Amino acid sequence: MNMYILSALILTLAYTLRANEVPKVNINVNFEYFCSDCTKYVSEQLYPTYQKLGSILDIQLNTFAFYSWTNKTNPDGTYDITIKNLTEVQGTLIQACVMEMEPIDKTLALLSCMFTSPDYQTQVNAGKQCSEKLGLNWAQINECAQGPLGRGLYIQGFERMMAVKPKITWFPWIIVNGQHTDELQDKAEHHFMKIVCDTYTGPKPDDCKNL
Ligand SMILES: *[C@@H]1O[C@H](CO)[C@@H](O)[C@H](O)[C@H]1NC(C)=O
Ligand SMILES: *[C@@H]1O[C@H](CO)[C@@H](O)[C@H](O)[C@H]1NC(C)=O
């Protein structure tokens, strides 16, 4: 084939691809730090799938620690969501800050690292070691986690989760293209790569073949 025809073909192909831009698969994941189904899902399903199919995925993450909160009612009838035990929610604060500060690839790497770390229980150690290993700015992340920004993100996580419909009854709670059913949840939690491939309406990436 001569070069002229080849470049004309490539241009046509590029144009066609842009004209038919296929929507990415939108995934919304609600999770807690101390939740073995969440740590498994993030490190064994979500992150490995992202590494292969990141270009067709649009991921939003949302975290809150329902094991450590109180609803304090003020004299004027308003109420505040507060952290019950700050030590217990350090991992959540660190991850909420990273989710805000870093792009999704770095964020998923950090989550996966913390969730599989031998220091998982001592949350700040896991956060520090994983941040350093991944070349993230630990000083900045820690400053966020220990300060008002981290607490604001924590409350935001709570509010976003309370607004989810149908109501969250399980973690990780996975929403695929705005939909949540028991069947979708089960597939997304245990066969995530397959559901991403099945849901994507564009030409199947090579990694989707032979699933
Ligand atoms: C917090 O407590 C107030 C007052 O009892 C109640 O109206 C509100 O629904 C509670 N909020 C949550 C999120 O549980
Ligand atoms: C807070 O949580 C930490 C870590 O789980 C625990 O060691 C500590 O006893 C808790 N503090 C209170 C006051 O419950």
- The H-assigned helical ranges of 26-83 are 36-40, 47-53
Residue 12 in any domain: the answer is no
Give the pLDDT of residue 46.
98
Give the pLDDT of residue 163.
96
Q: How far does residue 29's CA lie from ligand 2's centre (Å)?
A: 27
Q: Which ligand is nearest to the CA of 123?
A: 2
CA-atom Rg of the chain in angstroms: 20
Residue 107 in any domain: the answer is yes
Q: Which ligand is nearest to the CA of 79?
A: 1
Q: How far does residue 196's CA lie from ligand 2's centre (Å)?
A: 39
Q: pTM higher than 0.85, yes or no?
A: yes
In the three-class reduction of DSSP (H, G, I as helix; E, B as strand; rest coil), residue 98 is classed as helix
CA distance 72 to 111: 30
For residue 150, what are the domain limits?
23-208
Give the pLDDT of residue 121.
98
CA angle 139-133-138, nearest 5°?
10
Q: How far does residue 1's CA lie from ligand 1's centre (Å)?
A: 71
**pLDDT per residue rounded down to tens, the chain (211 residues):** 566 665 665 655 555 555 468 999 999 999 999 999 999 999 999 999 999 999 999 999 999 999 999 888 889 988 888 899 999 999 999 999 999 999 999 999 999 999 999 999 999 999 999 999 999 999 999 999 999 999 999 999 999 999 999 999 999 999 999 999 999 999 999 999 999 999 999 999 999 998 8
CATH code of the domain containing 37: 3.40.30.10
Q: Cα-flanking dihedrals φ and ψ of residue 201, to 5°?
A: -95, -5
Q: Which among 80, 122, 115, 119 has a CA at the least distance from the CA of 98? A: 115
Residue 17 in any domain: the answer is no
In the three-class reduction of DSSP (H, G, I as helix; E, B as strand; rest coil), residue 159 is classed as helix
Q: Is 2 in the pocket of ligand 1 (CB under 6 A)?
A: no
Give the pLDDT of residue 79.
84
Residue 69 in any domain: the answer is yes
Q: Is 85 in the pocket of ligand 2 (CB under 6 A)?
A: yes
Q: Is 124 in the pocket of ligand 2 (CB under 6 A)?
A: no
Q: How far does residue 87's CA lie from ligand 2's centre (Å)?
A: 6
Residue 108 in any domain: the answer is yes
Residue 2 in any domain: the answer is no
Q: How far does residue 209's CA lie from ligand 2's centre (Å)?
A: 48
Residue 1 in any domain: the answer is no
Q: Is the peptide bond before 205 cis (omega within 30 degrees of 0)?
A: no
Which residues, 6+ apart, have CB-to-CB distance to 149 below 8 Å? 97, 100
Domain count, the chain: 1
Q: Are 170 and 182 in contact (CB under 8 A)?
A: no
Residue 41 in any domain: the answer is yes
The β-bridge relationship of strands 57-63 and 25-31 is parallel
Helices 123-133 and 104-115: crossing angle in degrees, nearest 10, is 130
